[in-house]
Amino acid sequence: MKIETLKKSHLKRNIMLGVVAVLIISAVILNFTRAKYRTTQSIPLVNGTINYSLADLNAVAIYINGDSGYTKADTIPDGYVLNESESYCTINGEKDTSISLSYDTATKSLSVTPMTTKGTKCYLYFDEQKILLKDAILANSELKTDTPDFSKTSCTNGSNNGGNCGEETVGIYEETTSKGKTYYYRGDVENNYLVFADKYWRIIRINEDGTVRIIYSGEKSEVDAAGKETVLANGYDDSSTDYTQIQYSAFNSSYNASYYVGYTYTEGLQRPSTQNGVTASTIKGILDSWYSNNLQSYDNKIASGGSAGFCNDRNTRSGDSWVSSGTTFYYAAYERRSNGTPSYECSNTNDLYTTKIGLITADEVMYAGAAGTTSNYGYYLYTGNYYWTMSPYGFFGSVAWEFAVDSAGNLNNWYMTNAGPGVRPVISLKADVAISSGNGTSETPYVVS
């Protein structure tokens, strides 16, 4: 009997000890959990961290923009930025516009402000970070501070120019116009190559409005008589001087009146008039057709108007008067070439075309390195062939003349119906156009994304 009583006593004691142990363990767990929810902590979020309170933040959803739109992801790739206008947070399913989101790509951390309400869920949308073409150009070029003499040619002596360089003002320069600042390439630069619409181009300048003017420099490949395709490294085939133009053509259908220098014209008038009928030049028709066949699908990247327009300056030289026929006179671009004073201004708005395709001006050729009738085989606009500009030269009583870059790289004059010069299209890419790769060299040209 004493033995049974002892056993019962031990059993009762063991039960009590077990209950106490369970209570102690439960209290410890509860206290730890409460402390955890009271404490603001940092945990890894994808590739970075976010400061948050576990009691406040329920979840974060990440979406990455790709070829098929935004898709959910577990990580944020390098080179992506938060689309703050698309990203948002909800509280218990209701969108809260008072919450601001930002993502620091350098530290890879997310900021959610304010974070004060339990049940918050955030939806983060990320886009690939754009490298704008205009920014890449300036980042990859040292801005020159010397002042070019536009009465002299520009190139590097010994660079396939026979020592004929007037001065070695080579690089990218800044010019201030009435519309703002423009940045232009001059001389035998080697960092203004571009690939756009599966074609090679050379960059002429960053226009005052941030658009980028480029001139056609050839297809990415050519096919020989045997049908063999050759992929060209830099948009210029040394064995084929006609490669850098789309075709040969006359500028206009007639030459015996001064108004034929117009990109469009009205018979008998210095400038076109819609009231009296406007006729497009031969070369405008060629360019418009080429644009339709080659660039129309890229139309949303090509600018028009403003400083991206094309100037067909029909002002006359100082002291000259305009006539439709019978008297010799020169246009203003001739005077600027003679004086070495090129200008990006288009002084008469009726001469400015807001089309999406046109030609280079004689002034732009001078900024690039041409001077008068002096040969320049070194600067980047030299191709070894004649090609048209958009600038009128003069009228010799019965023959209208337009400026063209000749086979020696200088600015010369050609009458309107001469079918010898080539056609090199010029366009301006919009200011928000980005690149996917490249640094502007012939080996690694800028590639428009």
Q: Within 13 Å of residue 198, how many CA atoms lie on the same side as its CB?
A: 8
Distance CA 25, CA 39 (A): 21
* Candidate from 5-19, 172-186, 351-365 with smallest mean pLDDT: 5-19
Query: Are residues 51 and 194 both part of a single domain?
Result: no
| Structural domains of the chain, count | 2
**Per-residue pLDDT at 233:** 43
Number of Cβ within a 10 Å radius of residue 73: 16
pLDDT-derived band at 78 (thresholds 50, 70, 90) equals: confident
Query: Are residues 143 and 101 both part of a single domain?
Result: no
Query: Are residues 100 and 237 both part of a single domain?
Result: no
Best CA proximity match to 389, nearest among 259, 291, 245: 245
- The stretch 82-93 carries a mean pLDDT of 91
Q: How far apart are the first and last CA of the chain?
A: 96
**Per-residue pLDDT at 11:** 59
- The stretch 221-237 carries a mean pLDDT of 49
Q: Is residue 19 domain-resident?
A: no
**Per-residue pLDDT at 51:** 53
DSSP state of 187: S
91-119: buried (b, 16+ CB within 10 Å) or exposed (e) per residue? beeeeeeebebebebeeebbebeebeeee
- The stretch 186-203 carries a mean pLDDT of 94
Statement: residue 42 has pLDDT above 50: no
Q: Choose one of 97, 129, 161: the last residue of a domain.
A: 129
Residue at token pair 């006179």: 329
- The stretch 314-335 carries a mean pLDDT of 97
Query: Are residues 65 and 179 both part of a single domain?
Result: no
Best CA proximity match to 143, nearest among 201, 186, 179: 186
Residue predicted with more confidence, 249 or 39: 249
Q: Choose one of 129, 149, 176: the last residue of a domain.
A: 129
**Per-residue pLDDT at 362:** 98
Distance CA 306, CA 24 (A): 79
Q: Is residue 70 domain-resident?
A: yes
Please tell me whether residue 124 adopts helix, strand or coil conformation.
strand
Task: Give percent above pLDDT 70 in the chain.
Answer: 81
Statement: residue 57 has pLDDT above 60: no
Q: Using DSSP bridges, classify how beta strands 171-177 and 180-186 pair: parallel, antiparallel or unpaired.
A: antiparallel
CB of 99 closer than 8 Å to CB of 120:
yes
Distances (CA, A) of 312 to 1, 48, 49, 197, 204: 125, 55, 58, 26, 17
For residue 11, give the amino acid letter: L
Statement: residue 395 has pLDDT above 90: yes
Statement: residue 200 has pLDDT above 70: yes
User: Alpha-carbon Rg of the chain, whole angstroms?
Assistant: 34
Query: Are residues 92 and 163 both part of a single domain?
Result: no
List Cβ neighbours of 146 (8 Å cut-off, separation of 6 or more). Answer: 169
- Give the DSSP per-residue string, 367-402: HHT-BTTB--SSSTT--SS-EEEEEEEEEESS-EEE
**Per-residue pLDDT at 45:** 47
Q: Is residue 23 domain-resident?
A: no
- The stretch 124-143 carries a mean pLDDT of 93
Q: Where are the alpha helices (DSSP H) in 216-281?
A: none
Q: Is residue 11 domain-resident?
A: no
List Cβ neighbours of 102 (8 Å cut-off, separation of 6 or more). Answer: 82, 84, 110, 111
* Candidate from 119-128, 182-191, 241-250, 262-271 with smallest mean pLDDT: 241-250
Query: Are residues 116 and 139 both part of a single domain?
Result: no
Distance CA 12, CA 2 (A): 16
Statement: residue 146 has pLDDT above 80: yes
Q: Choose one of 75, 97, 129: the last residue of a domain.
A: 129
Q: Is residue 109 domain-resident?
A: yes
Q: Within 13 Å of residue 380, how many CA atoms lie on the same side as its CB?
A: 30
Statement: residue 162 has pLDDT above 90: no
pLDDT-derived band at 66 (thresholds 50, 70, 90) equals: confident
Burial class, 426, CB count within 10 angstroms (exposed 0-12 / middle 13-18 / buried 19+) = buried
Statement: residue 1 has pLDDT above 50: no
- The stretch 113-142 carries a mean pLDDT of 89
Q: Is residue 369 domain-resident?
A: yes
List Cβ neighbours of 71 (8 Å cut-off, separation of 6 or more). Answer: 63, 64
**Per-residue pLDDT at 226:** 54
pLDDT-derived band at 9 (thresholds 50, 70, 90) equals: low
- The stretch 254-281 carries a mean pLDDT of 97
Domain that holds residue 109: 40-129
CB of 61 closer than 8 Å to CB of 122:
yes
The per-residue pLDDT of the chain, averaged, comes to 85
Query: Are residues 263 and 288 both part of a single domain?
Result: yes
- The stretch 236-251 carries a mean pLDDT of 72
**Per-residue pLDDT at 116:** 75
Query: Are residues 69 and 186 both part of a single domain?
Result: no
* Candidate from 226-230, 255-259, 402-406, 439-443 with smallest mean pLDDT: 226-230
Residue 429, H or E segment? strand 426-429
Query: Are residues 109 and 169 both part of a single domain?
Result: no
**Per-residue pLDDT at 163:** 55
Q: Using DSSP bridges, classify how beta strands 352-353 and 328-330 pair: parallel, antiparallel or unpaired.
A: unpaired
Query: Are residues 123 and 261 both part of a single domain?
Result: no
Query: Are residues 206 and 222 both part of a single domain?
Result: yes
Q: Is residue 14 domain-resident?
A: no
DSSP state of 143: B
Distances (CA, A) of 173 to 187, 279, 433: 11, 37, 21
Q: Is residue 34 domain-resident?
A: no
CB of 422 closer than 8 Å to CB of 387:
yes
Query: Are residues 216 and 113 both part of a single domain?
Result: no
